[in-house]
Amino acid sequence: MSRFVLITPNSEFERQVRSATAGMSGSLQWFQADYLPDGPDEFLNKLLGEPPEVLILGPGLELSDTLKHSALLDLQHPEISVVLAAEQTPDLVLAAMRSGVRDILSPSADINGIRAMVERSALAAAGRRRGLAPSTGEGSGSAGGRVIAVMSPKGGVGKTTVATNIAVGLGKIAPMGVVIVDLDLQFGDVASGLLLDPEHTIADAVSGAASQDSMVLKTHLTIHEANIYALCGPKNPVEMDGITAAHVTNLLEQLRHEFQYVVLDTAPGLGEHVLAALEQATDAVWVCGMDVPSVRGLRTGFRVLDELGLLPEGRHVVLNMADSKSGLSVPDVEASIGVPVDVAIPRSRTLPFTTNRGIPVLQDNRRDIAAKGLRLLVERFQPNWQERPHRKLHRRAVVQ
């Protein structure tokens, strides 16, 4: 099966695309032509097996014909992601959006940029295929990807460290299928935690064309070298005032239909943005420190959210900076919060160091006592994890 199809007269661009897709499952089929067929079926009939996942049009094709062809393909074969190879302009973005084009790729893009876009478009195509498939009656309320909210009623428990490591770990499972969103709109640290200097932030993503079209929204995401995307918090805390709970809801609705995993680093407490995130979340990772204020805060948070009906179905309780010499034991914590602790991340000297460097420990592959706990946490989000044999779904953590 040809997963990727390219139509262009430009042989140099073809070599770039072929290099970018080398090593990916499936193959690339190239039609060397400076014109398009009368309809999609004309070239689809020349392919073996099922229709491709990604169709790249251009460069070297007449732009108006390309947009008309894209619109027709979007009607007849919505499961195929169309990528337009052309220099991006505001007028082109709008016209492409109306024609059902999935992404706009610069003809001068390097191999890494091409690969990232093709991978992202292929994942989107797979998602649409699932959406077009007949319903099996299972998971009727789980349309789109998993939204994982990393939560803590109190600050200072390592929530951003846990969130960035979850995103990096999931990036190994679903390359280019993960986006981490910084919802700590005043003092978010995702950018520094991933050593990023974003051109755009969440303040740009929730306004204008980005809030209306996912293709525009994706241009506001920052690509990280761990094969994930990031949407960082505002550079100026004052910008938080222009972001409402409704903005957060709309943003997460967009992202969950574009990515397999959406990881949210939320602000401490239960403000309006956090509550809006919980309404969209499929999973909540509750991060608790091994101290009395943190444990009490988590207990109170559980009670309030239970009364509001905002506790996500997927629950993952993480005891961070776990230390048997802290004066508290795991049974003490569990008795107080009323639920089992699922994962314990031991206190580590290395973990704060990796956070300060902006290189998560799961990206660095550094041998560290905290890495094992983080990997166990990431495993909980792998496909069909709950269907695998486990002695207990929520197993008591062990603190050394």
The reply to whether 146-387 shares the fold of 2-132 is yes
Q: Which of 125, 123, 116, 59 is nearest to 92 (CA)?
A: 59
Tell me what pLDDT residue 390 has.
53
Predicted confidence (pLDDT) per residue in 299-343, tens digit: 998 888 888 888 888 889 999 887 777 777 888 888 888 889 899
Mean pLDDT of 211-223: 85
Tell me what pLDDT residue 387 has.
58
CATH class of 2-132: alpha beta
Q: How confident is the model at residue 397 (pLDDT cuts 50, 70, 90)?
A: very low
Indicate if the pLDDT at residue 391 is higher than 50.
no
Tell me what pLDDT residue 130 has.
56
Tell me what pLDDT residue 55 has.
93
Give the long-range contacts of residues 88-96, CB within 8 A, separation 24 or more.
88/219, 92/63, 93/209, 93/215, 93/216, 94/209, 95/67, 96/67, 96/70, 96/215
CA distances (Å), origin 99, targets 28, 203, 214: 24, 27, 13
The size of the chain, in residues, is 400
Tally of CB atoms within 10 A around 75: 10
Domain ranges of the chain: 2-132, 146-387
Tell me what pLDDT residue 2 has.
63
Predicted confidence (pLDDT) per residue in 47-73, tens digit: 766 678 899 999 999 999 999 999 888
Tell me what pLDDT residue 377 has.
94
Indicate if the pLDDT at residue 284 is higher than 90.
yes
Percentage of residues in the chain having pLDDT higher than 70 = 90
Q: Please give the Cα distance from 286 to 9 (Å, whole number).
A: 53
Looking up tokens 């990232």 gives 116
Tell me what pLDDT residue 134 has.
47
What's the CATH number of domain 146-387, 2.40.40.20, 3.40.50.300, 3.30.70.260, 1.10.10.410?
A: 3.40.50.300
Mean pLDDT of 158-180: 91
Ranked by mean pLDDT, the top range of 195-199, 215-219, 355-359 is 195-199
Tell me what pLDDT residue 83 has.
94
pTM of the predicted model as reported, rounded to 2 decimal places: 0.67
Indicate if the pLDDT at residue 37 is higher than 70.
yes
Tell me what pLDDT residue 46 has.
78
Phi, psi angle pair for 24, to nearest 5°: -80, 150
Residue 286 pairs with which residues in a beta bridge?
A: 151, 317
